[in-house]
Amino acid sequence: MSALPAAVLFDLDGTLVDTEPSWMAAEQALARAHGGQWSLEQAVSCIGNPIPVTAGRLRDEGGVRLPVEEVVDSLLDTVVAVVRATVPWQPGARELAASLKAAGVPLALVTMSYRRLADAVVADLPAATFSAVVTGDEVRNGKPHPEPYLAAADQLGVDPGDCVVVEDSPAGIASGLAAGATVVAVPHVAPLPDDRAVTVVASLVDLDAAVLADLVRERRVTRS
């Protein structure tokens, strides 16, 4: 097996947990409550973006007559309640995280969701599963900007070019690539870009330490 990645940096919503339907339902319900409309296409187009961006669009396009901060809080309240009831883990998510930790690979959670949602998910895992957690309310620039993944690599003390990013959205993929990481995409709700720099797998079940190590090695060869 090739040398292991310096770290694996995971997106949250849609990648590790199947919360995208909850987000979209919360957005549509809020728009209806204000007499507005919010289509499935609009909801999908917001996947992976910072929550205030979605909240601003709900106000401007969906007829939600609330300040952006209140829209953010309403959406978070709904999704956090879902997660606290039962964390909807994606197939293979818990097993992949456990196997990577057992192999000595540091893990980071990098999400545009806010800290209170990330904490609700992390609480369902063994202690210290993630050595770093970067959330949307703790960065200046959200995805697709590289800052979230660069911040995670910095917290772990590793070179982002030696890391693997696991994502499910165009914004997250763009963020990981801009940070210089090897990016693996797991299709979920949002259509993914056709980019040869991205490895697409059907499920987290298809990933393990050996597969990720080989991907990092192949990317190093391509860059050299």
- Cα 154 to chain centroid distance, Å, stands at 18
> What SS3 class is residue 125?
coil
Asked if 166 and 9 count as a contact pair (C-beta separation under 8 A), the reply is: yes
Q: Is 110 helix (H, G, I), strand (E, B) or coil?
A: strand
Rounded-to-integer distance, Cα 118 and Cα 10, Å: 12
Mean pLDDT of 33-44: 96
Residue pLDDT, tens place only, 94-132 = 999 999 999 999 999 999 999 999 999 999 999 999 999
Residues involved in catalysis: 11, 13
Tell me the mean pLDDT in the region 64-89.
Answer: 97
**pLDDT attached to residue 193:** 83
d(CA 28, CA 40): 8
For 117, the 3-state DSSP assignment is: helix
End-to-end CA distance of the chain: 20
What are 29's two structure tokens?
């319900």
Whether the per-residue pLDDT at 151 is higher than 90: the answer is yes
Q: What does R_g of the chain's alpha carbons equal in angstroms?
A: 17
- pLDDT by residue (tens digit) across 47-71? 999 999 999 999 999 999 999 999 9
Q: Is the pLDDT of residue 34 over 90?
A: yes
